Chain A
Amino acid sequence: MTAVIETHGLTKRYRGGRLAVDRLDLTVPEGSVFGFLGPNGSGKTTTIRMLMGLIEPTAGTARVLGGTIPGAERSVLPRVGALIEGPALYGYLSGRDNLTRYDRADPTADPRTRRTRVAAALDRVGLTPAADRAAKTYSLGMKQRLGLAAALLQPRGLLVLDEPTNGLDPQGMREIRALVRELAADGTTVFLSSHLLDEIEQVCTHTAVMARGRLLVQGPVAELAAGTRGRLTVVTPDPGDAARLLTELGVAGVSVGDDGRVTAEPPGADTDLADLNAALVRGGVRVRGFGVEKASLEDAFVALTGEGFDVAG
């Protein structure tokens, strides 16, 4: 599998500041939906700026779609659609004219297909009805979608989306996530940064976790989650009895959660979960739900780093 993004020792120190990104080794496989996860201030945007040639790395190298950045922007960037730190639009131009403006700046964009490509991009993000309104009258969600449309003006080998759901209401977030899934389903590699664990978990196949400019861990989401064992979970109106019985049955690490759920370490391979469940029911516990819950990315994060995922940053 080839890497769409590959960095070695990528480092950035802003003028007069501390290290924003510290010796980052990142590998984004082709075809993945890559979640770049980290609390605010952990260096996600800085990394993306370096990958797009907007700022010069203090040290290290970066390759994007096979070209070295900085250096190969002219051949690489036309194949990259990017949404960096929110959309930026000419408020006095219509949505359509905004896209035309950005398309004219692309050295590979064919002027003969421009109108159809702009219309198709607007259609893709559902902005056709508002295409001829001044962009300053757009809601934040519409602006975000127009920004996405700009990233979709051409067939792209890579989409870089920096916190694309930031500032949106839940409905707006769902719309953007649905779009990202659609794009990923087309086979486009998506590099998605976010400070929301559940967002990464919902849409990504791979992830890298950043904290304070450092890469903590990267790999397939499933693999990271598999690194931690899930929890045996019993949903019941009788948590006290359930906990007592489970302990008697030799299950370790039994605890009763605030929500009344009883959780415990999953038993070894020699114990059949069905037998445990039957024993609970025989003991008079009314069981609503029973099973081993898959470990979440958050569990993996905590297990791998030994710290909580603190978004406060």
Chain B
Amino acid sequence: MLLTPINRNYHDFKIDRDKDLCINCKVCVRQCSYQAHYWDENRKKVMHDNSKCVGCHRCEALCPTAALNIRQNDSEFRTNALWRPVFIKNIYKQADTGGVLLTGMGSPVDIPIYYDKLLLDASQVTNPSIDPLREPMELRTFLGAKPDRLEFEKGKDGKPILKTKLTPQIQLETPLMFSAMSFGSINFNLHIAMARAATKLGICYNTGEGGLHPSLYMYGKNTIVQVASGRFGVHRDYLNAGAAIEIKIGQGAKPGIGGHLPGEKINAKVSETRMVPLGSDAISPAPHHDIYSIEDLLQLIYALKEASEYRLPVSVKIAAVHNAAAIASGVVRAGADIVVIDGMRGGTGAAPGMIRDNVGIPVELALAAVDQRLRDEGIRHRASIVAASGHRCSADVVKAIALGADAVYIATAALLAVGCTLCARCYTGKCPWGIATNDAELAKRQNPEVAEQKLINLIQAWSHEIQEMLGGMGLNSIESLRGNRDKLRAVGLSQAEMDILGVKHAGK
């Protein structure tokens, strides 16, 4: 008894197996990558170990007789407002391991979600709402720097000819993109699915920092290639393969720290794409070691523009931190064509829980502050703004655009679309849904064609909903929503919060 760790019984989930329904077919045994289910030779039946369950619900979904139910463990600690169970359990774990508590996915903690406190407007009487089924409802969006004015000259026939040459832009048919998830953190099946879905939808997906496998170059027009601190897979062809280049300075889920892809996830294909040895850990340093200040960022931006012969817009992604507005202003002045603001609710393949749950600020506040700052300084046109982190539905997207975003990056929602259940164990490499894993057996659970169709469906569904909401507000084009904060009203927010968001309280 003394050898049993304190932890043994304080697990999060309980596997509830209906004995009458179970036919001992062992599907759950084969499906569970954590060995929570096992065949008990002595008893001749399938048994389970609750402490191993991560709550991914894979077994429950595949059990042919619906015999399984995964529940929260109802064993309770004595109620304590300060020492909530999560802190107690974390201490037990750290006392056992002496290590940093790793976790995956976006933060589950109760950070205010401002989207829930913002409500949208609709037309009544004084202006007509527009029906997207009868009238055009335009979502096309261009990302990239815009001139502050256009110049024209008169052609021979007296018609105007545009003199101003626009810098490179990304054209999106709907203001949504798949955010950076590296090949390695998720597997190749999903990279193909994202690339094809983005191509069919006329939007872009982001490679993340893991390079781009040569077989995906054909989807380049709909690809944003990322350059992060580890520079994995970065070479001339890679930089020129996509529609834009993104410099990743920070990630909302883990601002201020780097990344670590464990060697177990580096298989042959990943190793080839990342240009790192097979099976070795791929570590991204916390900062870029050639960027210690804003003028260094300027140099990298222009180095990338040179490398791509000024054909591609350069995007810079920063985590939403306290001085996001001032930082974004510097980033735009350094020559970025797109600024991505990644809030603290963003997902991750792996991050220390302390960082994920405590560092950074919600994207709504950062986005609103950045948009306003760039306008105050008269440089908003010089860069597009993309918001990322925890956009759960089309209404969140509409609210983000009304706050000032040009487009929204989604990643967690995209993974949910292909079956992720937010078990938050992506860092283990054992994702039972075949997403955050390169184990061939597990990865097989994702069929690229099916995943592609799910992603297409999701974006189409959201786009239709965005059109409905736009039409309801009496708008027929997305650019009239962008930064139109008059379409938002706050409920239950303080004056300080409303001032930062630039919105009135509901009823005003």
A and B from one complex:
no
